[in-house]
Amino acid sequence: MRVISGSAKGRSLKAVPGISTRPTTDKVKEAIFSMIGPYFDGGHVLDLFAGTGGLGIEALSRGMQRAVFIDIEKKSIDTVQMNLRATGLSEQAEVYRNDAARALKALAKREQRFELVFLDPPYKMKVIAELIGSMEEQNLLDPHAVIVVEHDAQDVLDEVIGSFEQQRRAEYGDTAVTIYKQRG
């Protein structure tokens, strides 16, 4: 695993020890960024279920201004912090060990808003609609927010969740990526 493009291009990323996470492959990461736009001019990104932090780090490397990384596993949090140091992006990041739903409430209290969100929960968790609904209710999403969901290719996600609708879906073996944007 590595950073594919931007300011930290080519830097290697460590994997989370053990088998509890499945890092996004470079091929899927490349596909995601070709779908949502290769580079950014500032903005805030939320990497929920961060794992290695690879997606949020890639977004920072490609021009996002700030990133918040959330994961409940201590090994993941340690790995995200290690990868941020290795890429020189620690100053642009906040890393929290927390349950996703509780983390969203905490971010809402701080009046955080995000232009880009990565949702990559464990495949057995079927919480995508609930999380998107919660982020929308808590006013965490910029009106032009893009939500990138990485999920099991066998799962068919709702076409519309709140005011967000599917813009694109692509499959890469057992993995699918679904992109949501606000309707209208």
pLDDT digits (tens, 9 = 90+) for 134-147: 999 999 999 999 99
Q: How many CB atoms lie within 10 A of CB 116?
A: 24
Distance CA 112, CA 28 (A): 28
- What the block records as the tokens of 124 is 């057995």
- Please state the pTM of the whole predicted model: 0.95
For 82-127, the pLDDT digits (tens) are 999 999 999 999 999 999 999 999 999 999 999 999 999 988 888 9
CATH number attached to the domain at 26-118+131-182: 3.40.50.150
